[in-house]
Amino acid sequence: MNYTQVFRNPELAQQWVNAIKALATQRWRIMEVCGGQTHSIIKYGIDQLLADEIELIHGPGCPVCVTPLAYIDKALAIAAQPNVIFCSFGDMLRVPSSHQDLLSLKAQGADIRIVYSPLDALTIAEQSPNKEVVFFGVGFETTAPTTALTAYQAKSKQLKNFSLLICHVRVPPVMEMLLASENHRVQGFLGAGHVCSIMGFHEYAPICERYKMPIVITGFEPVDILQGIYFCVKQLEEKRFEVENQYSRIVKEAGNVPAQALMQKVFNVVHRNWRGLGVVQNSGLALNSDYDDWNAENRFSVGNINTLEPVECRSGEVLQGLIKPVQCAEFGTTCTPEHPFGATMVSSEGACAAYYRYRQNALS
């Protein structure tokens, strides 16, 4: 029996829905911190099935969405230079900068290539010794190990025509930032399963204790999410605040230790600006000084580019769970996937894209 039969089984899903309804004595507010979970919730109508018992709040779980505008402008500044091959994951090409996107620049003749791994960009550099090849490294701890491996191999090979523009971010600090805000509405978290498959979940216990907040590490399929919600509600009803692992078939407490060791060898933890959220302390990963020669910000002198976010876009409020996408006046009108106003409408993991695709007429 494959995962679609088990984890998308309607009868099993209904059993968990019924169990949650029987358990909840009040309407609880639970935030998912994963764009994949957000899309499953909206696609399968999980929030509608539990509308009387649970308010599901969509958090900053989309790595493309939280990449700050300044880094898109840095990417454009590098990609526009002659003799550069700029490599990126496909989602990043349509994220708006302060003036255009990478896809528009590509249409104007810039050599911008979609890759499926940073190691593909490394291969391009080896095959193109007369070109400067740059990889745009974004995302949470899930994708950071492969970027670290690529940087490590570039240094080992002394590949001088290759560099990386790094904007990786870490999940636990942004969860703490949200909870420290006076206007947060969160009573429990569904933790991002893929992030924890790399990092484990030892970082979450202090958050549970400090903020009296249950965190349930959760998978991405409908039954995963419903089971994660049940575990979270059960803790809330029992006034327990612990880390619980629903996604145990993938996530272990220690995580992927070799991947963590490689990240520590290559990256430093830094403060990072998040789109729509501002600077989050200790939430970023940046190349350490041993990799200065492969740091694209230094090589192309773009480190001082700082761009203000447009005040018209409410994606920051969406990413903090303060509003639903349909509560933004631009949603579905001036902002669509074809003509995105903000990053949350571009990415395949963005909350606005999920609502546009599955529920354009949703009530706020």
Q: In what order do the strands lie in the sheet containing 267-274?
A: 111-114, 84-88, 132-139, 162-169, 278-287, 267-274
208: in domain: yes
181: in domain: yes
296: in domain: yes
Residues 330 and 267 in one domain: no
pLDDT for the residue 2? 66
Residues 251 and 285 in one domain: yes
Q: Which H or E run includes 216?
A: strand 215-218
pLDDT tens readout for residues 50-106: 999 999 999 999 988 899 899 999 999 999 999 999 999 998 998 888 888 999 999
Full residue range of the structural domain in which residue 67 is found: 9-312
Residues 47 and 148 in one domain: yes
Which pair of structure tokens corresponds to residue 200? 């484990």
Most confident region among 288-297, 329-338, 339-348 by mean pLDDT: 288-297
2: in domain: no
**What is the total count of domains within the chain?**
2
1 or 61: which carries more pLDDT confidence? 61
For residue 185, the 8-state DSSP code is -
* CA dist., res. 2 & res. 33, Å (int): 26
Residues 180 and 327 in one domain: no
Arithmetic mean of pLDDT over the chain:
94
Residues 210 and 341 in one domain: no
Residues 300 and 346 in one domain: no
Give the CATH number for residue 268: 3.40.50.11740
Residues 289 and 340 in one domain: no
Give yes or no for a contact between 46 and 40, defined as CB atoms under 8 angstroms apart. Answer: yes
Band of residue 10 on the pLDDT scale cut at 50, 70, 90: very high
Residues 159 and 74 in one domain: yes
pLDDT tens readout for residues 179-201: 999 889 999 999 999 999 999 99
pLDDT for the residue 315? 86
pLDDT tens readout for residues 102-145: 999 999 999 999 999 999 999 999 999 999 999 999 999 999 99
Residues 187 and 306 in one domain: yes
> What is the radius of gyration, based on Cα positions, of the chain?
21
pLDDT for the residue 3? 63
Which pair of structure tokens corresponds to residue 277? 């959220």
Residue 36 backbone dihedrals phi, psi, to 5 degrees: -65, -40
Residues 340 and 265 in one domain: no
Q: Which H or E run includes 233?
A: helix 222-237
